[in-house]
Amino acid sequence: MNETLKNITERYSCRDFADTPLTSEQIQELVTAALAAPSARNLQPWHVTVVTDKGLIDELDKEGVATLAAEDETYYTTIKERGGRMFYNAPCAFIVTHNGSSWGDLDSGILCQNVVLTAQSLGLSTCIVGLLRVPLNSRKGEEFKKRLQFKEGHDFAIGVLIGTAKTGKVPHELDHSKVTLID
């Protein structure tokens, strides 16, 4: 199996990160992968905020869990079953925003795929998280957006948690029934 396909098939959503911080070299490689992502008409509607401030990640986590506890019992129960943390002790978060372009969500997703596959190739684990929107839309949301230096006119698109896995997990089974081949 070629290395790219190996990284794709071995990647899983990590929900248990070790405290080990990323190196500056790892972060630079991930940033390069993000910026190399294709986008519609090469407009690159995104902005990436790389957060390694563990205190800030933990504050986002705490606010997100509290917000879910008050507003969404189903998600809150899931988070409690997974150890009570939304961001799983990740030492790094890539937070992607975009300028509202009609292709912004899709382009941001492509960017995140570049990041997670590069992280996998570096021996790191990842979890793509839409739940970052919870603390960003909470009562402290505007404060967080300011601290995260959101660009004017940008909204949250998607996030990626990155770090070293504390425990492993088997990737999901490939379901070939999801593919139709037309010759």
For residue 179, tell me if it sits in a domain.
no
Residue 181 identity:
L
Tell me, yes or no, whether 1 lies in a domain.
Answer: no
Give the tens place of pLDDT for each residue, 105-158: 999 999 999 999 999 999 999 999 999 999 999 999 999 999 999 999 999 999
Q: What is the DSSP string of 47-90?
A: EEEEE--HHHHHHHHHHHHHHHHHH-HHHHHHHHHTTS-SSTT-
Supply the pLDDT for residue 169. 86
The tally of domains found in the chain comes to 1
Is the residue at 119 inside a domain? yes
Cβ-contact 22, 163 below 8 angstroms? yes
78-96: pLDDT as tens digits:
999 989 999 999 999 999 9
Domain carrying residue 118: 12-167
Q: Contact at 8 Å (CB) between 28 and 101?
A: no
How far is 104 from 101, CA to CA, in rounded Å? 5
Q: Residue 126's beta-bridge partner residues?
A: 13, 162
Give residue-wise pLDDT tens across range 21-32.
Answer: 999 999 999 999
Q: Provide, rounded to the nearest whole percent, the portion of the chain with pLDDT above 90.
A: 94
Q: Is residue 101 a part of any domain in this protein?
A: yes
Whole-angstrom Cα distance, residue 171 to residue 11?
6
